[in-house]
Amino acid sequence: VIAREPGELLVEARAGSRGALARLLTYVESGGESQRATAALSYAAPAPYVVGITGAPGGGKSTLTDQLIGEALTRSLDGSAIDEVGVLCVDPSSPFTGGAILGDRIRMQAHATDTRVYIRSMATRGHLGGLSLAVPDALRVLGAVGFPLSFVETVGVGQLEVEVASSADTTIVVVTPGWGDAMQANKAGLLEVADVFVVNKADRAGVAETRRDLAQMLDLGGDRQWRPPILDTVATTGDGVEKLMDAILQHRNFVDGRSHDTRRAKARAELERVLAAMLRERVGVIADGAAYEAQVDALVAGTTDPYQAAESLIGLA
């Protein structure tokens, strides 16, 4: 297979080729030169509005996303109809097996054949920064191709997942009724990144208690300029989805009014992640080769210490 130019692929993807779009996203996942070229191209294009959906495993995120796709396609942004929706499904716990991929496809089946909807599962493969960099890159590709709105679903269980979700413009945290679910969300750091709370599976008992727990935890969090609303949904029937979409778009208007600050904060966080990833990559290069082995020998012989050895390897000594 001959590698295609990202620029050429972008033109084709803008003209509607899903194959070209898929190839660009594979470049983004795989890292290397094609990824860099793709990132440079898409960074210049307008970013899409991104809605992150996170929460504990099995809370109904994919089912809810499926409903939100349908709802979004009836709405507009800045006066233009939302005519296309992109969806990234991220499961950091299974980067290669794609265990979640099949499930997500099944759960978003309502839109599996809709040409206005593009659903893609993301894996890490070779990207130097892993998912925390590959996902923002991929979202920008979707923006460059012309998607006005994209969803990104991640399971909110760890720091990385929270980071991925919170790189969205609006982050929805999904909890389910039941003792301790809100506490769990708090423990996972989800409370801090939530712009909108959803108590999904509201057809089950315990909704009021869960809402109350969330509200109390929000009260403890102190003053915020935006108080995250707490909404109920039944993703399997679509109950509450219209109101949820209203809340999402209200939050979008809120951040839009602060777009300069928000963009600066996001750019700052992303630049720091890229820097960290590049330095980590350099560590890999330095920690490999004759000079490194010589320092290891010196350490074993007791003629240096790890700090001195490291300094001399980075050229500080």
Ligand X SMILES: Nc1nc2c(ncn2[C@@H]2O[C@H](COP(=O)(O)OP(=O)(O)OP(=O)(O)O)[C@@H](O)[C@H]2O)c(=O)[nH]1
**Is residue 46 a contact point for ligand X (CB under 6 A)?**
no
CA atoms of 172 and 175, how far apart (whole Å): 10
CA atoms of 148 and 313, how far apart (whole Å): 47
* Count of residues of this chain found to bind ligand X when the rule CB under 6 A is applied: 16
Partners of 87 in the beta sheet?
Answer: 119, 151
**Contact partner, 289, from Mg ion, ligand X, none, Cβ < 5-8 Å per class:** none
**Is residue 100 a contact point for ligand X (CB under 6 A)?**
yes
CA atoms of 156 and 158, how far apart (whole Å): 6
**Closest by Cα among 158, 266, 175 to 228:** 175
**Is residue 42 a contact point for Mg ion (CB under 5 A)?**
no
Of residues 95 and 221, the one with the C-beta less far from ligand X: 95
Partners of 149 in the beta sheet?
Answer: 49, 85
Please calculate the CA angle 171-177-182 and round it to the nearest 5 degrees: 55
**Is residue 233 a contact point for Mg ion (CB under 5 A)?**
no
**Is residue 154 a contact point for Mg ion (CB under 5 A)?**
no
**Is residue 210 a contact point for Mg ion (CB under 5 A)?**
no
Of residues 57 and 289, the one with the C-beta less far from ligand X: 57
Block residue for tokens 């089912």: 63
**Is residue 63 a contact point for ligand X (CB under 6 A)?**
yes
**Interacting residues with ligand X between 222 and 251 (CB under 6 A):** 234-236
Q: H or E segment at 131?
A: helix 131-145
| Identified binder of Mg ion from the candidate list 38, 42, 54, 62, rule CB under 5 A | 62
Looking only at the bridges linking them, the beta strands covering 170-175 and 49-55 are parallel
**Is residue 38 a contact point for Mg ion (CB under 5 A)?**
no
**Contact partner, 111, from Mg ion, ligand X, none, Cβ < 5-8 Å per class:** none
Binding interface with ligand X (CB under 6 A): 57-63, 100, 107, 155, 200-201, 203, 234-236
Binding interface with Mg ion (CB under 5 A): 61-62
